[in-house]
A and B are shown apart, each in its own frame.
Chain A
Amino acid sequence: MRTLTLSLTAAGLVLGLATHANAQDSIKVGVLVGYSGISSLSGQQTDAAIKLFQKRYGEAPGGKKIELIRRDTTGPNPEVAKRLVQEVVTRDKARILIGPDFTPNTLAAAPIVTEAKIPTMVIGAATTGIIEKSPYFTRTFFATPQQCKPLAPYAVKNNWKRVYVMVADFAPGHDCEKYYISTLTEAGGTVVGNVRIPLSNPEFSAYMQRIKDSKPDALFIFMPLGEPSIGALRAVNDSGLKASGVKILAVGDTTDETYVDAVGDAALGTITTGIYSTQHDSAMNKEFVKDFEALNGKSPRIGWTAIAIWDAFRLAYDGLEAQSGSSFDPDKFMAFVHGRSFESPRGPITIDKATGDIIQNIYIRRTDKIDGVLQNVEIATLPNEGFK
């Protein structure tokens, strides 16, 4: 009888240790991006980037096997996103979160990840101040000032001092307008007019006419990815505004590789600020693009979502490697991430030590046709641009 009890206890202990050890060996990572609706291309890029990353770097950084939990945010939909974050954190027990994309979704997630202590990579929201909403937020995307300020001094430097400002009429557009106008005026330029365009706007002719009437040297455009950008760039071309000599300056959203082909030749000559171009001239990027296209095909093209996901995984893997052998500690993870610098296919990145926001190179690019394909060719670099 005693032998039986002892052997059962021993067996129990062994099983217990085995399962405990197994539990140590895997970690759940939630991936919350848009797979359907307006952002379905982001979802496809995300999966493609993850596939390549795990092919190159394996699936078990620091000895912990990554279990991915994918959820579709369906676009900027905070009601759904908040519920998905709750589910993934409380029921699926994810310990790290990649996403959700879009500012409203990320804002809705903040209180949950703070309370549950879940390091969260912001891969699709550019709004300033968002990283401060949770000590567990860190960003691999870009911040609006990085995107919107540089073309102001650039315009003045090139003697395009009279600028017309055209932004999409929603919160990110208003933000961008504010940054651009203040930076332009500081640099000595003049805003000859500005207009806010409704997001669901099929018809640009009235706006083009207003811009023509004010005879600017340059036009600065902020439009989000997708239909508004395509419409704006085509209208600028079709209305003859570009041909009349007005320089077209815009944020990188408008010529993002994923959508630029739909704009067609109308996009040629647009000068944009961006964080990533497939044309970036570094050995790391050349290899990245080659491997990406070999694994995932040439469509959809590599846009900034892919690179944001790639670098998020880089951070996650490095953070997990640093904790190899011990159980996952979110606060140690965040301490590791803060202040971390590394090389990405886009260029060098640093995560700010104090806030967790991103410091990166911002590139001024021009849209050219290379081998028959529209590309963003980098013509100037602003190194280590801060996020304020």
Chain B
Amino acid sequence: MSSLSDPAPRLPGQQYFASIARWSPGEIIFWAALLAVFFVPDANLPLYGQIVIWGLFAMSLDLLLGYRGIPSMGHAAFFGIGAYTAGYLGKFGWTEPISGLVLAALVAGLVGWLTGRVIQRVSGIALLMVTLGLNLILYDIVHRQSELTGGDDGLQGVVIAPVLGLFRFDIFGRTAYLYALAVTFVLFLVARALVKSPFGLALLGARENPRRMITLGTPIERDVSTVFAIASAMAGAAGALLTQTTQFVSPATLSFQRSADVLVILIIGGTGRLYGGFIGAIVFLLLRDWLAALSPVYWYFWIGFLLVIVVAFFRRGIVPSVETLAQRLRRR
């Protein structure tokens, strides 16, 4: 019996979207913890700042791969485009970080949108090869045009002004960490709203059964370009964050190594959960740092082993596996 004081009775669809939009306690704890880390004395903020940036980068790939099912082996191209844009802005006088970041993200997003249009018809191995090929071509150009880009030595003379005119990028990595965290959180909110919206559902549907989605009238081709644009823009933002916090940009930002690393990070953490990218980044980077210190020549072995184990036994990645485990425990 609906009471007269009930505002507008919700339709089942709206109820659905409202219910999935609720914040779980785990999510709140996650972000609170990331903020709290800043206050821990002697915390390794430079490392944690980079973990946050990788997490954002991996999350952007999640939108493409996890939610839309488009595997990309060249996602670093957009990271690098954002990084270099922010670098050139900083080099030629546009030193304000926040506007520089927005501009870098827009440029990367535009290129991403174009790429989305180009790869419409391709799927499977061909898609992997095209994304890989484009990434390698971009890297080759940037790397060899050392007069324009500084090549391997990196772009020289990048100057980034203090955030909001107040907070200088200090050598302890304090400003860098909070800045990266703030930007990442904002973009996360955007991504979260996106995947929990009808658009997000349409992506999932197109991932599972494109033909059915077409019969429902979904503009899946336009959606592919859109999600590509958004994922690329976020990757570009991550790249810009790296440039601004380190005042340096080199071709390593668009290398195949980076594309492969972010893919591995996302798979380890789990696709289709948005948090998978962050968890994967935390696990991968901390583990790599620790293993490299223990066994500098042989840490490759353990990373390879980890990858094999994750793929074999925790195929869906850490986050979904933990979720399943939690559910099973709750049912007991």
A binds B: yes
Q: Give me the interface of A with B, judged by CB distance under 8 Å.
A: 35-36, 40, 43, 71-72, 74, 76-79, 82-83, 86-87, 89-91, 103-104, 107-108, 111-112, 115-116, 127, 169-172, 174, 196, 198-199
- Residues in A with CB closer than 8 Å to B144 are 169-170, 196, 198
22 interchain pairs (CB within 8 A)?
A40-B296, A72-B292, A76-B252, A78-B246, A82-B46, A82-B248, A83-B47, A83-B50, A86-B171, A91-B44, A103-B152, A103-B153, A104-B154, A107-B248, A111-B171, A111-B247, A170-B143, A171-B153, A172-B153, A174-B146, A196-B144, A198-B140
Complex contact A112–B171 (CB within 8 A): yes
For residue A90, which residues in chain B have a CB less than 8 angstroms away from its CB?
171-173
Could you tell me if A87 and B46 are in contact, using CB atoms closer than 8 angstroms?
A: yes
Q: How many Å from the CB of B301 to the closest CB on chain A?
A: 11
Interface residues in chain B, defined as those with a beta carbon under 8 Å from any beta carbon in chain A: 42, 44, 46-47, 50, 140, 143-144, 146-147, 150-154, 156, 171-173, 242, 246-248, 250, 252-253, 292-293, 296-297, 299-300
* B146 to A, closest residue via Cβ: A171
Which residues of chain A come closer than 8 Å to B143, judged between CB atoms?
170, 199
- Closest A residue to B248 by beta carbon equals A108
CB distance from B182 to the nearest CB of A (A): 20
Q: Pick the most buried of B46, B173, B293: most chain A CB atoms within 10 A of its CB.
A: B46
- For the complex formed, measure the closest distance between the CB of A108 and the CB atoms of chain B, giving whole angstroms: 5
Q: How far is the CA of A219 from the CA of B154 in the complex (A)?
A: 29
Indicate whether A174 sits within 8 Å of B147 (C-beta atoms), given known contacts A40-B296, A107-B156, A127-B153.
Answer: yes
Residue of B nearest to A130 (CB): B153
Residues of B near A40 (CB, < 8 A) are 296-297
Distance of A43 Cα from B250 Cα, bound (Å): 23
Inter-chain CA distance A115–B169, complex, in Å, is: 12
- Neighbouring B residues of A86 by C-beta, 8 Å: 46, 171-173
The answer to whether A72 and B293 have CB atoms under 8 Å apart is: yes
* Nearest-Cβ distance from residue B302 to partner chain A, whole angstroms: 12
Please measure, in the bound complex, the distance between the C-alpha atom of A107 and the C-alpha atom of B87, giving whole angstroms: 15
In the bound complex, residues from chain A placing their C-beta under 8 Å from that of B246 are: 78-79, 82, 108
Q: Taking CB as reference atom, which chain B residue is nearest A90?
A: B172
Residues A87 and B47 in contact, CB atoms below 8 Å apart: yes
Inter-chain contact B146/A115, CB cutoff 8 Å:
no
Closest residue of B by beta carbon distance from A47? B296
A43–B296 CB distance below 8 A: yes
- What residues on A are CB-neighbors of B248 within 8 Å? 78, 82, 107-108
A107 in contact with B153 (CB, 8 Å): yes
Residues in B neighbouring A87, C-beta threshold 8 A: 44, 46-47
Q: Which residues of B contact A79 (CB under 8 A)?
A: 50, 242, 246, 252-253
Highest count of chain B CB atoms <10 Å: which of A79, A87, A169: A79
Q: Report the Cα distance A107→B140, complex, angstroms.
A: 22
A83 nearest CB neighbor, chain B only: B46
Taking the closest CB of chain B, its distance from the CB of A259, in whole angstroms, is 17
> Which chain B residue shows the least CB distance to A34?
B296
A91 / chain B contacts, CB cutoff of 8 Å = 42, 44
- Is there an interface contact between A172 and B152, defined as CB atoms closer than 8 Å? yes
Residues of chain B with a CB closer than 8 A to A115's CB: 171
The residue of chain A having its C-beta at the shortest distance from the C-beta of B296 within the complex is A35
Check if A72 sits within 8 Å of B156, measured CB to CB: no
- Please indicate which of the listed interface residues B47, B171, B247, B293 has the most CB atoms of chain A within 10 Å of its own CB: B171
- CB nearest neighbor in B for A113: B171
Of B44, B47, B50, B152, which is in contact with the most chain A CB atoms at under 10 Å from its CB? B152
Nearest CB on A from B159, distance (A): 10
Closest residue of chain A to B156 (Cβ to Cβ) is A107
A-B pairs with lowest CB-CB distance, top 10: A35-B296, A171-B151, A171-B146, A86-B46, A83-B46, A171-B153, A72-B296, A36-B296, A171-B152, A108-B248
Q: List residues of chain A with CB within 8 A of the CB of B250.
A: 78, 104
